[in-house]
Amino acid sequence: MELKDAAVLVTGAGRGIGKAIALAFAKAGVKTVLVNELPSESNAADETVLAIQNLGVLAEKVLWDVSDFKATAEAADTCKLWAGTVDILVNNAGITRDNIFIRMNEDAWDKVLDVNLKSVFNCSRAFLPGMLKNRWGRIINLSSIVAFSGNPGQANYSASKAAVAGLTKSLALEYAGKGITVNAIAPGFIDTDMTKKIPEKIFNDLVAKIPVKRMGTADDVADAALFLAKSSYITGTVLHVNGGLYL
């Protein structure tokens, strides 16, 4: 399949990295972009959809909580109505609930694992059958640098992102023979709302440690997603996009 014929679904695409990925696929000339976001009062998803439509690409918002298995299965039917098969699935939605481990409560653990890991199960489970029918598909999962380096205060988050890397490799092996590649991207320190929560002193110390001497941008990550979507011989890999911060 060529990109111009592909329908792409990006989860958590109202802002940040997800929005940049959705726009990058639109600029690359895909057929349809489905923009997922949590149902809320904000019209973040509408802004992404409008920006994509202004590029002359079909776009629709599909609002649901990707950590909810039943809601994901129902949303898959809606996606089918808008776009037919989802050919490229980008599991981007993610959250943090940081705390030192001794103070981390069960809710912070469960919520982060549900949104960051179970969502990848939910969406892959819902959209893989269509890819299998077409014998073509791309699944791109967002892991993180901290899956590999660890990070104090992020036991829940780093565990969820390490599990995403393991899930990616297993799915890659299961479906490599069916025209479906499954890869992960492990961003380093990227300039989005997620990293704006970091206290100033820790933030400045972190940037000073990055070998390329700057934070990454959401577009740096979007470039990697597009590259993986175009590649048919790369599967089961974790592509590090971190300016050399962790090698």
Catalytic residues: 157
The response to whether 84 counts as a known ligand-binding position is no
Gap between the Cα atoms of 33 and 47, Å rounded? 13
3-state class (DSSP) for residue 89: strand
Q: Burial code of 16-37, b = ≥16 C-beta within 10 A, e = fewer?
A: bbbbbbbbbbbebebbbbbbbb
Rank residues 10 and 180 by Cβ distance to ligand NAP and give the closer one: 10
Minimum Å gap between C-beta 102 and ligand NAP is 23
Residue 188 CA from chain centroid, whole number:
14
Gap between the Cα atoms of 116 and 110, Å rounded? 10
Cα first-last separation, the chain: 34
Minimum Å gap between C-beta 96 and ligand NAP is 7
Rank residues 115 and 163 by Cβ distance to ligand NAP and give the closer one: 115
Minimum Å gap between C-beta 4 and ligand NAP is 26
Minimum Å gap between C-beta 36 and ligand NAP is 6
The response to whether 16 counts as a known ligand-binding position is no
Gap between the Cα atoms of 39 and 115, Å rounded? 14
Gap between the Cα atoms of 234 and 125, Å rounded? 21
Give the type of residue at 44. Answer: A
Residues within the interface to ligand NAP (CB under 6 A): 11-12, 14-18, 36-38, 40, 44, 65-67, 92-95, 115, 142, 144, 187, 189-190, 192-195
Rank residues 191 and 236 by Cβ distance to ligand NAP and give the closer one: 191
Rank residues 16 and 137 by Cβ distance to ligand NAP and give the closer one: 16
The response to whether 15 counts as a known ligand-binding position is yes
The strand pair at 238-241 and 180-187 is best described as parallel
Torsion of CA 56, 190, 220, 4, to 10 degrees: -30
The response to whether 159 counts as a known ligand-binding position is yes
The response to whether 244 counts as a known ligand-binding position is no
The strand pair at 7-10 and 88-91 is best described as parallel
Task: List the binding residues.
Answer: 12-15, 92, 157-161, 190
Binding residues for NADP(+): 12-15, 92, 157-161, 190
